Structure 1
């Protein structure tokens, strides 16, 4: 498994326009519909990150990289079922997890939120663990659990067909445990400290998580991709 985090920096708009010509038609269409430049950059570098990885690791040419989605919207690489990946972005970060088995990743910026939302997305057990957190840790704990739940939903690849209250993810003796009666697979979880203002969680079918993330800047990623195409 490899986990890569891209820090979004200021980048020349002309270069962004040129890089976008190497993306899939769906991604180019998506970029045109974003109102804010920061949303365009996150979307642009999400696909550039995957393309750079599969070109470098699997020796593909950019022209042969084709993305497909299952009926729930989870992306995959056409013709290469052995390449499993998942993406997430928030704020200044784009992150991706790559593996040979299904994997999910989620990152969220820790911003104030009305915790009444837990009435709709947390189970009673999850809310109990949240309620016993010290006041200054409550928001951080919410985002840690939320990204764990999102990473699981994304790893399974069934989207919103999995209600967030149909399973619990809780901490037991500092270990992360999934509790569900509808999934018999062995899912494992890991969390990384990427930035003190973000929560980042990964879900996989095994526990062989890398000790550290591989972190690069958006300018470095752009340079690497340009040298590949």
Structure 2
């Protein structure tokens, strides 16, 4: 029997905005909930922003998993497949994926493989697009002007990343080997090596960011749960 998310759906999406001034006692308390290996990885990061992002994405993942499965944090053990995609060890009822960028961390949990990607919008790099996007995507990008071009670039980027992450094949699936079509109301995928039928959804969490979700399920949540840092810490403490 499958599991259901806390929102009653087959997939749940949760986001937390990460303040730049997270108090050190809070950081240390959250760090203690991670494995020794993950703590070491975080401590090796040079920039505090990067360390906070990795930490919060991990903690948010743990909260979503504990909520859904009704387990304690100490019962969670993460592994990864041959391409580096994280998964839960010891069970296959629940899948998850996480992403972070700038001041946001996002997590998706689902009864099927899922991919999520959040990116902060900055200047669209046409060189990157020409090199990594499919030819038809690059042509569409060139037709968009000004600030819309930047948003279109990150729409494509996050959608493509979410697909790669859902498929769980890493960059063995080149970004240029498939294309995303945004010209109709329903976002569609064009590829010769389709992983499985998949569906996309985008969520407006912040005007300066793009957030995209990919899943083989055609019933994706209408909304993202936004959780504040204080509420995240308080609720997570119940599962320690």
Q: Please say whether Structure 1 and Structure 2 have the same fold, judged by a TM-score greater than 0.5.
A: yes
Instruction: State whether structure 2 residue 146 is matched by structure 1 residue 135.
Output: yes
Are 1:129 and 1:170, in contact at CA under 8 Å, matched by a contact in 2? no
Are 2:112 and 2:215, in contact at CA under 8 Å, matched by a contact in 1? yes
Q: Which runs of 5+ in 2 are unaligned?
A: 1-10
- Residue 82 of structure 1 corresponds to 93
Q: 1:176-221, CA deviations, whole angstroms, 9 ceiling, x for partnerless residues?
A: 1100001251011011111110011100002211111000112221
Aligned partner of 1:2 among 3, 12, 34:
12
1:86-165 equivalences under 5 Å are 86-165=97-176
Matches of 1:130 and 1:184 in 2, distance apart? 25
Matches of 2:13 and 2:64 in 1, distance apart? 11
Matches of 2:209 and 2:108 in 1, distance apart? 17
Matches of 2:186 and 2:68 in 1, distance apart? 32
Q: 1:117-148, CA deviations, whole angstroms, 9 ceiling, x for partnerless residues?
A: 11211111101211222333111100000100
Are 1:6 and 1:217, in contact at CA under 8 Å, matched by a contact in 2? yes
Q: More deviation in 86-95 or 134-143? A: 134-143
Matches of 1:110 and 1:157 in 2, distance apart? 25
Are 1:11 and 1:219, in contact at CA under 8 Å, matched by a contact in 2? no
- Residue 172 of structure 1 corresponds to 183
1:30-69 equivalences under 5 Å are 30-69=41-80
Match of 1:34, SS state, is coil
Are 2:17 and 2:228, in contact at CA under 8 Å, matched by a contact in 1? yes
Aligned partner of 1:206 among 217, 224, 237:
217
Q: 1:75-132, CA deviations, whole angstroms, 9 ceiling, x for partnerless residues?
A: 0011121110000000110001110001000010001143121121111110121122
Matches of 1:184 and 1:44 in 2, distance apart? 30
Report the Cα offset of residue 46 of structure 1. Answer: 1.1
Aligned partner of 2:192 among 181, 190, 214:
181
Equivalenced residue count is: 229
- Residue 5 of structure 2 corresponds to none
Q: 1:154-185, CA deviations, whole angstroms, 9 ceiling, x for partnerless residues?
A: 00001010111110111232221100001251
* TM-score between the two structures when normalised by the length of structure 1: 0.96
Matches of 2:208 and 2:127 in 1, distance apart? 21
Match of 2:182, SS state, is strand
Report the Cα offset of residue 11 of structure 1. Answer: 2.1
Match of 2:90, SS state, is coil
